[in-house]
Amino acid sequence: MDLSSLVLCVLFEVLAVNCQEEAQERIVGGYAPVPHSIKYIVSIQTTQRQHLCGGSLINKYWVITAAHCNIGVNKMMIVAGDYSLTIYEGTEQEILPQLLFPHPEYNPTTTNNDIMLVKLRAPVYLNSYVSIALLPRQGASIAVGRLCRVSGWGYTSPNGGQIPSTLRTVMLPIVSTQQCNSSGSFGGSITENMLCAGFSTGGKDACQGDSGGPLVCEGRVYGLVSWGRGCADAQFPGVYTAVSKFRRWIDNTIFSYYSRCKND
Ligand SMILES: *[C@@H]1O[C@H](CO)[C@@H](O)[C@H](O)[C@H]1NC(C)=O
């Protein structure tokens, strides 16, 4: 999905046809979890406090999200410990990013390598509202049919409609790459760096505004909400960045950051 249209859709809620087509990543068919029970999720916002994307804390200084959520380091703010975006709960921690590391081979046309690391300026404070998500090992695979949890502050209906202010979550089964890449579905657009999840009957999915947020399987962030066709369509499952394909890149990027600092 193209970044400028994503930003336009979310910021101005434009309901033009081309925008509706793209403006499709919030949790559809899900429910509101117990407040603050999903502690690793963050809201990625503009400095004007407009929610744009989800992300996950992987340690006190780093957030993982999708590369298509890259609006520029000076326009971005990270909110941890959030539940309702509109009500101040006293649990929120707002932190500015210091540096963004979009994957160097991210391709906005094919959405391949849709992953980005965000280095925070200050550490988040870990408490009963904020915790860290675990990542899968390099190359780890997740079985087809395994139920995974996706969460976010995205649209709750395929045609946009109301933007819910509280976090939503839904469980979805992993769909085989073969099925997802078939002519009856995404017809060849699925790469090895992507995962698909959704019910064959549709009805439950991530949607616009959930982008970059976590798909958690077996307690680890196996997927990042990346793209799709509409939301909750039976023919088209949601497509996620396959985090296990990037574990080495994640570790190397963080390690290089600190090695470089040492030499400064
Ligand atoms: C999806 O299909 C395309 C076209 O047939 C193919 O080039 C690509 O390798 C497939 N993806 C995977 C992950 O097998």
Please report the pLDDT score of residue 24 as a whole number.
Answer: 32
Which residues participate in catalysis according to the annotation?
68, 114, 211
Report the alpha-carbon distance of residue 116 to residue 29 in Å, rounded.
27
Contact 179 CB / ligand 1 (< 6 Å): no
Please report the pLDDT score of residue 158 as a whole number.
Answer: 73
| For ligand 1, atom 9: residue with the closest CA | 191
- The DSSP bridge partners found for residue 120 are 97
Contact 145 CB / ligand 1 (< 6 Å): no
Q: How would DSSP label each residue in 35-98? A: TTS--SEEEEEETT--EEEEEEEEETTEEEE-GGG---GGGEEEEES-SBSSS--S--EEE-EE
Q: Which stretches in the chain have pLDDT values below 70?
A: 1-26, 160-164, 261-264
Please report the pLDDT score of residue 263 as a whole number.
Answer: 55
- The DSSP bridge partners found for residue 239 are 196, 227
Q: What global pTM score does this model have?
A: 0.88
